[in-house]
Amino acid sequence: MPNEQRTDIRFMHASVRGMVPVELKIADKWSGNDLFEKLRLQLCGDYLRDPANENGIYLLVNRGEERKKWKLPDGKPVSFEGVVQGLREHAVQLTTTDREIRDLGVSNLEVIGIDLTKRSTKNQ
């Protein structure tokens, strides 16, 4: 990476320009503001700074161990699903209206949330 950091996961494929970095966050350990900040500064600002990298994935995992609510940047408390949705909306905003992120060539950010507290009990 340009700043000598390493992504948590990265995908490469011959038909995709550059690599697709994946930044993994255990959501329980981070505040809502921190999660929003890391999307912009770490995934976009660090891992997508290379002009060949246009796509990124922000993967959040909720283990349900430390936090049940997060606050959005406007102060609204939300569940894990709410913070994931807020980050998805923020990702769209970053790629469409944030001049600095657009100037980096970032064209696609996907936010994926995995909630481990929603495990199925059907087969137990």
pLDDT tens series, the chain, 124 aa: 444 556 677 777 787 777 889 999 999 999 999 999 999 999 998 888 888 888 999 999 999 887 789 999 999 999 999 999 999 999 999 999 998 888 888 889 999 999 998 875 555 4
Q: Give the count of beta carbons closer than 10 Å to the beta carbon of residue 104.
A: 19
What pLDDT score does 41 carry? 92
Q: Which two tokens stand for residue 25?
A: 């966050």
pTM across the whole model:
0.86
